[in-house]
Structure 1
Amino acid sequence: MAKQELTCDDILKELRAKQYRPIYYLMGEESYYIDLIADYITDNVLNETEKEFNLTVVYGADVDVATIINAAKRYPMMSEHQVVVVKEAQAIRNMEELSYYLQKPLLSTILVICHKHGTLDRRKKLAAEIDKVGVLFESKKIKDAQLPAFISSYMKRKGVDMEPKATAMLADFVGSDLSRLTGELEKLIITLPVGQRRVTPEQIEKNIGISKDYNNFELRSALVEKDILKANKIIKYFEENPKTNPIQMTLSLLFSFYSNLMLAYYAPDKSEQGIANMLGLKTPWQAKDYLAAMRKYSGVKTMQIVGEIRYADAKSKGVKNSSMSDGDILRELVFNILH
C-alpha cells in the first residue's frame, strides 16, 4: 500500500505535539504552506536561549550539499535539538547527495529544506530516503474555486465570520496568491471595529479598495443574470479605474468561470452537490452561479464564450490589435457573451 501523504495540517499537528522528524523537505509551487511549516519549526522547536546556538538558517545560493550535511551532523549545545533551515534550496545543485546523510541522520537535528517553485523527482533515491525517515511535502497551488473555502476556514480559525459576498469579492480580487491573500485577511481583522467579528462587503470596499458594486464578482453575476445595463456600468467603471481593475485579472476570472461552466455540463448529477463535486468546490452553495448560468447559456454558447475570452486576451496583449483600448476589448467581449 502506498504511503499516505501528510497534509500541511497533519504536519503542524505533529509539530504541536512535539513529534519531530529528522528532515522536512518542503517543495512545490505554493510558497505559503512551505513558509507556514518552516516558520512554525523555526519559531517553536527551540526557545530564545536555545536558538542562539542551535538555529542555523542558510540560503541555497550560498551553500552546497556538503555544507548542509556538515551543519546537520553537529550536535546541539545545551538543547535537545538543533534546527537547520535551508531556504531557496532550488538553487542547490546535486541535491541527490543528501541521500547519503539520510541513510543515518542525526536524530537530534531537524533539517528543513525549502524548495520553492519546483519539486524533487519522486523516482530518485533522495525522495525514497526522505520518505523513510522524514516528511516529503508538496505544496500545491489551490484552485480558484477553492479560495472561498480557504478564506472562510482561515477567518474561522481567527474567530471572524465573513459574508459570502465579501468572501467572493476578496477571492476574485486577490486570486490564488495565498501569501498576499492571508496578508489582506490579517489587514481586515486588524481594521474591524471593536466588538465586531463579521466582515461585510462595505469593509472590503473601505479597507482593501474594492468597490462593493463594481468588481469582477458583480460583473460575473451580471453576466450570469444577462443584465446588460449592469454589466456595461461595471465595464465603464473598470475603464475609469484601470489600476484597481486590470483587464488581465478580469479575463482570467471570466475564463476560469466559463471553463468550469463547460465542465459542469458533464456532471452526472446536476444538483448543487453534484456540480460542487464535479468542480472540486468545497461547499454546494458555490455551485449556485453555475446552475444559474446553465439555465442562461447552452453548452455550445459556453464553448464559444471560452473562445471569445481567449481572443480578447490575445487582443489585450497586442495580437491583431493596434487601436482598441482595454475598455473597448472588455465591452466587445461582454457584448459577445450576452448576445
Structure 2
Amino acid sequence: MDEVKQLVQDINNRNIKPIYFLMGDEPYYIDKISDFIQDTVLSEEERGFNQVVLYGRDITIEDIVSNAKRYPMMAEYQVVIIKEAQDLSRTIEKLSTYVENPQPTTVLVINYKYKKIDKRKTLYKAINKVGVVYESKKLYENQVNDWIRRVLLSKDYTITTKAAQMLVEFLGTDLSKINNELEKLQIILPKGSQITPEAIEANIGISKDYNNFELRKAIGERNVVKAHQIINYFSENPKDNPIVVTVSLLFNFFSQLLHFHGLIDKSPRHVASVLRINPYFVNEYITAARNYPMKKVSTVVGILREFDVKSKGVGANSVPQSDLLKELLVRIL
C-alpha cells in the first residue's frame, strides 16, 4: 500500500513516467492505479483527443507501439491504456523494443492481471530503467483484516475485528469484492460510524451468529450444541454457505492448529506472526489446541481431505450437502 501511495503522490506532483506496467495476482490495485492515471494525467478537455483505451484480446504489440508513438494534440501528454494485456502474454516481450526508446510525451499503462512478466528478461529490465513495474500481490487472510481497517479509517469509519473477519470469511481475500461491500455500507451508514457484525448482517446478509467464523470457533471449543446449530443453518441455506468453502476454511484452521502444536514458542505475538493470523484470534488456537491433541488434529486433517473430495462430487454424487456436513461434524467432534 505504501508503494501505491508513493506512485499516486509522484503522479500528483507531475513526476510522470512514460510506462506503467501493472501486473500480479490481485487486480484491485491494478484497476485503482490505472483508473487514477486515466482520471488524473489529462484534463477532461484533453482526454477526447489524447486518451485511448485498448484491450489485449483485440490488438497486437504492433498496435500498442503504433498508438504509443503518436504525438499529443494540444496537451503535454497522451495516455494509452491497455486493459487485459495478459491476453498478449505470448508476444509481450516484443514490447521491449519500444520500451528501450519510449515516446516521452506518451504515458503507456499496461494492465497485466493474474500474471507476471519474467524479471530475468529484457522487457522487465527495460521498463525498470525508464518507467514503473508494479506487482500487485494477493494478501494473506490476516493482512486483509488490517487492509479493511485502514481503508475504512481513511474514509472516517471504523470496524470491529469480528465484523472484518465476517467479511473475509464470506468474501475471501478478493479486495474488489470486499471494497464493493464496504462502499455499500458507507452509503448506508453515516461517517464516523463503527461497522459492527449487526450492520454486516442487516446490510450484506451475512449472519453474525451462523457463519464459518462462528463454526470454527464452536468446533475449536468443542461446543457441540452450537456447532450443530450452525451446521443446521448451513443445511437450510446451502447457496449462501457452500460446503466447499466450509471444508476449505476448516482445513486451513486445523492445518494451522497442527503447526501450532509444533511451535516451541507459543507466545501470542509469535503465534500470530508464524501462523499469519490476527492476534485477536490467537486465543482460539490456544483453546482448540487443548481440545485437540496433535494426533487428533492429524486425524481431522485427513477427514477434511476426504470431505474436500466428497464436497466436489467425487464418490458422493447422490449425498445431499446437509448430510455431508452433519457427517463431517460428527467425525470431527
TM range (shorter): over 0.9
Q: Does 1:204 find its partner at 2:180? A: no
- Distance change >3 Å, CA 212–CA 128, structure 1 → 2: same
- 2:231–2:326 CA contact under 8 A, matched in 1: yes
Q: Which residue of 1 aligns with 2:114?
A: 117
- TM norm structure 1: 0.92
Which residue is 1:151 aligned to? 148
User: Which residue in 2 is equivalent to 1:165?
Assistant: 162
Residues 25 and 268 from structure 1, CA distance in 2 versus in 1: closer, same or farther, beyond 3 angstroms? farther
Equivalent position to 1:329, from 312, 324, 327: 324
Structure 1 residues 269 and 7, CA gap change in structure 2 (3 angstroms): farther
Q: 1:132 to 1:271 in 2, by over 3 A?
A: same
2:130 to 108, 128, 133: 133
**Could you tell me how far apart the structure 1 residues matched to 2:178 and 2:137 are?**
16
Shift of 1:255: 1.7
Question: Residue type matched to 2:304 in 1?
Answer: I
Q: Which among 48, 62, 68 is matched to residue 72 of structure 1? A: 68
**Which residue does 1:240 correspond to in 2?**
236
Question: Which amino acid is 2:165 matched to?
Answer: A
Equivalent residue number for residue 310 of structure 1: 305
2:50, 2:78 within 8 Å by CA — same for their partners in 1? yes
**Match of residue 182 from structure 1:** 179
Aligned AA (1:305): V
Q: Match for 1:221: what amino acid?
A: K
Q: Is the aligned partner of 1:22 residue 2:18? A: yes
CA distance in 2, matches of 1:108, 1:40: 18
Higher mean displacement: 194-203 or 83-92 = 194-203
Give yes or no for contact 2:23–2:116 (8 Å, CA) kept in 1: yes
Q: Hey, what does 1:278 align to over in structure 2?
A: 274
- Unpaired runs of at least 5, structure 1: none
Question: How far 1:6 sits from its partner (Å)?
Answer: 8.0
Query: Structure 2: which amino acid aligns with 1:321?
Result: A
Q: 2: distance between equivalents of 1:316 and 1:187?
A: 32
Whichever residue aligns with residue 141 of structure 2, its letter is: D
Give the superposition deviation at 1:183: 0.2
How far does residue 268 in structure 1 lie from its aligned partner after superposition? 4.4
- In structure 1, the residue matched to 2:28 is 32
Matches of 2:142 and 2:299 in 1, distance apart?
A: 22
Deviations 1:142-197 (A, max 9, x none): 222322112111111111111111111111011112111110111111111x4651
Alignment gaps of 5+ in structure 2: none
Q: Secondary structure at the match of 2:214?
A: helix
Q: CA RMSD in A?
A: 1.8
TM-score by length of 2: 0.94
Which residue type is aligned with residue 183 of structure 1?
A: N
User: Shift of residue 209 of structure 1?
Assistant: 0.6
1:298 pairs, out of 293, 296, 299, with: 293
Q: Return the alpha-carbon distance in structure 2 between the equivalents of residues 291 and 8 of structure 1.
A: 37
Q: Is the 8 A contact 1:267 1:278 kept in 2?
A: no
Is 1:49 matched up with 2:22?
A: no
Separation (CA, whole Å) in 2 of partners of 1:6 and 1:185 = 21
Contact in 1 for aligned 2:157/2:191 (Cα 8 Å): no
2:93 match = 96
